Amino acid sequence: MNLLNRISDRVPPYVALIPVCVGVFVAADDQTVIVTVLPQIMLDMEVPITEIDHASWAITGYLLGYLVGMPLIGRVSDVWGHRRLYILSVLAFMIGSVAVALTQSLNWMIAARVFQAIGAGALVPIAIAIVGDLFPRGKRALPLGIVGAAAEAGGVIGPLWGGVIIRYLDWRWVFWINIPLAVLTITLILLMLRPSPRFPASIDVVGGALVAAALTCTTLAFSRIGSFDWLGGAFVAGAVLSLILFILRQRSTTDPLLPPAMFRVLAFVTANITHLLVGAALIIGMVTVPLMANTVMGRTPLEGGLWLMRMTAGIPVGAFLGGLMAQRLDLRFPAAAGLVFSAIGYWLVSGWGLDIGEPELTLHLLVVGFGFGLLIVPIALAGTETVGEDIRATAASMVTALRIVGMTFGVAALTAWGVARFDILAADIRLPLAEATQTRAEAQAQIDQFTDRVNDAGLALFQEFFVIAAVVCLIAVIPAVLMIVNKTAARRPPIPTGDADVLRDRQGDA
């Protein structure tokens, strides 16, 4: 170990960041790669198309696992060391990948995906904390932009990577390939990254279990919002009860999972609110763009995926530029600018007709993605630079989790409202009935008119989706401009977690 430490001490910080970014990239890739390989998985496991809702849990389960373990693992990494937990998280991701590749049934695959995601979900907040280990305060914006760009690039490449794999190999190779990548990541981490500082404290496992239960019940409740029944009500009750018990637990324990003093810092609170709204706005575009392409626009699934890639391709570019801007400017400027960019992009997309073409299609979607990219570093800095160094990963996990909660709520609300709204838009559309006196040409003309009216109603609905997303972006500007992080405050020494007065003083100085 002493030899490894001597080697890592000579590695420049930006070089040491490379294996961290590789791990984040691969984990993000696996979040989206499943989209293109799921049909082959269903075929291989003989899952009928009527069970597509069950099969979709290969996607939902990953999102759930990604979310629920994040707060507890973030806190554990602050106590045990960020490098150590990063390696353990990569190991968990690797074991989960092996389990997915070996599974022969859909249920076991879903369970393996959840386990895989628990490791993957920890990587982003721990990576944000590792940036704090490698770089001094005031110089973390650019490396955070690099980490953010790696995470978003993985999400962009995922569907394309999955398509390439299933074209030439079996779908299981998507997960087998993770093994050498994980081994390489762990090896480079050991060689390049020096041990992280540790902040000994007791770990609130009960609090972690309660917040995981609350997040799980919330996610499951959102998934049933379109057809709410007694089970959905039980999930809501479970979420509320878990949250109440969690709050009581945090007030009574000496080492809470989420120290209450964090929530007295304005920048931290507003960063979380902003990220919640950003998650809701982002998922509207990610769901609606390919869906609109595949339905009313009459494009193939491949074309729909390429449309979405135009949007997501702008995110890593914006993340890198946002890091450069945050290094030199007030964080609120790139944050507000990003939200305005995305709002403008969504407004432009809401004006699309059925004949939309290039270059408008690409430019409008790139504007949306670029705006979301600009936000990544300002939110990460506001959420982590204004709290104690000893809870940096905990704070990062909270900020990251809120974006996923926003995405979960956004897609659930979109589905429920969209169904009701389409019924209204299509209320006066009647299915044409053939008459004995009609010619074939007249009957076909009626069918064509019916199809056109349904497409028009669908297009109007999608346009409203994008308007809603633009409005959510503009609402998010309000908390974004309150993410006040003074440059001088950002360079001060770390403060103790439990000192609420010091935290309030920092907020006031900022």
Establish whether domains 1-203 and 259-427+439-510 are of one fold: yes
Whole-model pTM: value is: 0.79
pLDDT value of position 345: 94
Tell me the domain boundaries of the chain: 1-203, 207-254, 259-427+439-510
How far apart, in Å, are the Cα atoms of 260 and each of 250, 256, 290, 387? 7, 8, 41, 11
**Closest residue by Cα to residue 112 from 29, 30, 40:** 30
Q: Which runs of consecutive H residues, i.e. helices, occur in 103-225?
A: 106-134, 141-168, 173-176, 178-192, 205-223
Fold of 1-203: Growth Hormone; Chain: A; (1.20.1250)
- How many angstroms separate the CA atoms of 485 and 208, rounded? 29
Residue 76 to residue 485: CA distance in whole angstroms: 26
Residues of the chain with pLDDT under 50: 488-510
pLDDT recorded at residue 52: 58
Q: Cα(175)–Cα(161) distance, rounded to whole angstroms?
A: 12
Q: What is the pLDDT of residues 403-414, one digit of tens each?
A: 888 887 887 777
Q: Is 435 helix (H, G, I), strand (E, B) or coil?
A: coil
What is the predicted pLDDT for the residue at 506? 37
Domain over 259-427+439-510 is classified CATH 1.20.1250.20: yes
Give burial (CB, 10 Å; 0-12/13-18/19+) of 224: middle
Q: Are residues 399 and 380 in contact, defined by beta-carbon separation less than 8 angstroms?
A: yes
- The per-residue pLDDT for range 182-220, each reduced to its tens digit, is 999 999 998 888 776 666 677 788 888 888 888 888 877
DSSP-assigned letters across all residues of 277-300: HHHHHHHHHHHHHHHHHHTTT---
